[in-house]
């Protein structure tokens, strides 16, 4: 059976060079990085080399890169510590953030630790900057703005630089979940004064279970996980050395090949959109996912003209044909409550139809897209 993996927004295939690097680390660099003997020093040196390398690519200082278990931990660390350590009393976000952010801020609100404010969205799911400014002006509390750079379900890409500068006008801190964009877009944290970012290696062909937080120097944060002095005292626990070197290898590959791979993946997305419009003209693209300027080049989200009874079996039938995709975030794939993102932007009628996210990488081909469109068309017409 043909196998087509179009769920790269959920996770990506690990690059062979990353696997090789990690295998070597597991076999030969097994010292505890906190140990003072040569085995430990070797591991520690490699970790600090990875930190410096990542910092160089985003124009940060090495001390501003804190390794975590992934994007979810990075988001949690930043949001919780900002409230606990930095005096944040109000968090401004949207209702279409990743649940790593939404569930965290909802919990902080439920405990009475913050006031939670939501920025209005337009019909495509973009934050209303005029409303954001109104919220920034309201009450005199210390504020943090948390808006994701690229939405993981519909692919909308916000102007994070403009949002950061607007927020700084009112002395607000700024955090962004950049899990869907770090590794896919160039970054320079010195260009605009964003305070916090979150990244995950498995979104750009690295291993799962490793990511990092960018935390601006002298932020005033203290540790979220206690027990040791690792990660500048912000995250205790023996470092996952093999994962860190895997992250480094994936990050270097992503940025050294960024323009070439971006051009290729952009071509796949354009081709997918063209073929859907030609063969399934009643399909609609959600958010700005069909706009190459206003959305990421890595994914599309399509509302398909399928009846409710067929919709329930759509992903199953695609899987039977060897096609992997997602109805939304992989983190909620077991949920039957529907997408919290699409609920905010689609009509009740369109919410009854299946919306599917297809996401691409350099491992995909046009032939795979042709096959996928044919299968979708057959399901719709059957």
Return the ∠ at Cα 368 (arms to 351 and 375), rounded to 5°: 50
Q: How confident is the model at residue 1 (pLDDT cuts 50, 70, 90)?
A: confident
Runs of H (alpha helix) within 170-230: none
Q: How confident is the model at residue 204 (pLDDT cuts 50, 70, 90)?
A: very high
Residues paired with residue 67 on neighbouring β-strands, in sequence order: 212
Q: Which tens digits make up the pLDDT trace of 270-284?
A: 999 999 999 999 999
Nearest 5°: phi and psi at 156? -55, 140
Domain boundaries for CATH 3.40.640.10 within the chain? 16-256
Out of 223, 303, 325, 331, pick the active-site residue.
Answer: 331
What's the chain's Rg over C-alpha atoms?
21
Contacts of 144 (CB under 8 A, 6+ apart): 79, 82, 83, 86, 88, 90, 91, 92, 172, 173, 174, 175
CA pair distance 297, 267, nearest whole angstrom: 9
Q: What tokens were used for 134?
A: 């109104």
Give DSSP secondary structure letters for 321-355.
TTEE-BSS-GGGTT--S--TTHHHHS-HHHHTS-E
CA pair distance 151, 135, nearest whole angstrom: 21
In this model, does residue 251 exceed pLDDT 60? Answer: yes
In this model, does residue 296 exceed pLDDT 90? Answer: yes
What pLDDT sits at residue 328? 61
CA pair distance 277, 283, nearest whole angstrom: 7
Percent of the chain with pLDDT over 70: 97
In this model, does residue 367 exceed pLDDT 60? Answer: yes
What pLDDT sits at residue 332? 47
Q: How confident is the model at residue 380 (pLDDT cuts 50, 70, 90)?
A: very high
Percent of the chain with pLDDT over 90: 92
Give the residue among 281, 306, 321, 335 at the shortest CA–CA distance from 153: 335
What pLDDT sits at residue 333? 47
Report the half-sphere exposure of 187 (CA within 13 A, side-chain side). 29
**CATH number belonging to the domain at 4-12+258-381, selected among 3.90.1150.10, 3.30.70.100, 3.30.390.10, 3.30.70.20:** 3.90.1150.10
Q: Which whole number is the average pLDDT over 100-126?
A: 98
Runs of H (alpha helix) within the chain: 16-28, 38-58, 71-86, 99-110, 129-137, 160-169, 241-256, 258-279, 308-311, 314-320, 342-345, 348-351, 366-381
In this model, does residue 334 exceed pLDDT 90? Answer: no
Give the residue among 160, 159, 256, 268 at the shortest CA–CA distance from 205: 256
- Check if 331 is active-site: yes
Burial label for 220, CB within 10 Å (0-12, 13-18, 19+), is exposed
What pLDDT sits at residue 337? 66
Query: Length of the chain in residues, anyone?
Result: 382
Contact 158, 296 (CB under 8 A): no
Q: Which whole number is the average pLDDT over 21-32?
A: 95
In this model, does residue 335 exceed pLDDT 80? Answer: no
Chain-centre distance for alpha carbon 256:
20
The SS3 assignment for 72 reads helix
Q: What is the pTM of this model?
A: 0.95
Q: Which tens digits make up the pLDDT trace of 140-159?
A: 999 999 999 999 999 999 99
Q: Which whole number is the average pLDDT over 170-195?
A: 97
Contacts of 66 (CB under 8 A, 6+ apart): 74, 77, 212, 213, 214, 215, 231, 232, 234, 235
Domain boundaries for CATH 3.90.1150.10 within the chain? 4-12+258-381
What pLDDT sits at residue 44? 96
Cα distances (angstroms) measured from residue 306 to each of 6, 311, 350, 380: 20, 6, 10, 6
Residue found by looking up tokens 């409550």 in the block: 337
What pLDDT sits at residue 307? 83
In this model, does residue 336 exceed pLDDT 80? Answer: no
Mean pLDDT of the chain: 95
**CATH number belonging to the domain at 16-256, selected among 2.60.40.10, 3.40.640.10, 3.30.565.10, 3.10.20.520:** 3.40.640.10
């Amino acid at each position: 059976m043909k196998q087509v993996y179009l769920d790269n927004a959920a996770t990506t295939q690990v690059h062979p060079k990353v696997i090789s690097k990690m295998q070597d680390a597991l076999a030969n660099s097994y010292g505890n990085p906190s140990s003072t003997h040569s085995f430990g020093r070797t591991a520690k040196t490699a970790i600090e080399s990875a930190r410096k390398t990542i910092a160089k690519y985003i124009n940060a200082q090495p001390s501003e890169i804190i390794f975590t278990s992934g994007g979810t931990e990075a988001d949690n660390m930043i949001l919780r510590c900002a409230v606990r350590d930095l005096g944040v009393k109000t968090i401004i976000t949207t209702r279409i953030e990743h649940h790593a952010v939404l569930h965290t801020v909802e919990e902080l609100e439920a405990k009475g630790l913050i006031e939670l404010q939501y920025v209005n969205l337009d019909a495509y799911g973009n934050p209303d900057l005029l409303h954001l400014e109104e919220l920034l002006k309201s009450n005199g509390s210390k504020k943090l703005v948390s808006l994701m750079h690229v939405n993981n379900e519909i692919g909308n890409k916000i102007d994070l630089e403009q949002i950061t500068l607007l927020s700084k006008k009112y002395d607000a801190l700024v955090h962004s979940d950049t899990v869907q964009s770090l590794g896919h877009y160039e970054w320079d944290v010195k260009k605009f004064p964003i305070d916090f970012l979150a990244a995950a290696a498995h979104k750009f062909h690295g291993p799962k279970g490793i990511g990092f937080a960018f935390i601006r120097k002298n932020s005033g944060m203290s540790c979220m996980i206690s027990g040791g002095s690792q990660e500048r005292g912000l995250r205790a626990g023996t470092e996952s050395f093999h994962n860190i070197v895997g992250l480094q290898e994936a990050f270097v590959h992503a940025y050294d090949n960024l323009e070439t791979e971006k051009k290729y993946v952009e071509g796949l997305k354009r081709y997918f959109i063209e073929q859907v419009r030609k063969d399934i003209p009643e399909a609609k693209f959600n958010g700005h996912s069909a706009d190459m300027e206003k959305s990421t080049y890595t994914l599309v989200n399509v509302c398909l003209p399928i009846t409710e009874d067929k919709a329930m079996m759509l992903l199953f039938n695609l899987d039977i044909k060897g096609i992997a995709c997602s109805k939304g975030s992989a983190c909620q794939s077991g949920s039957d409550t529907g997408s919290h993102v699409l609920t905010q932007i689609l009509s009740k009628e369109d919410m009854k139809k299946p919306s599917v996210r297809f996401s691409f990488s350099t491992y995909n081909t046009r032939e795979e897209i042709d096959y996928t469109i044919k299968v979708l068309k057959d399901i719709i017409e059957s």
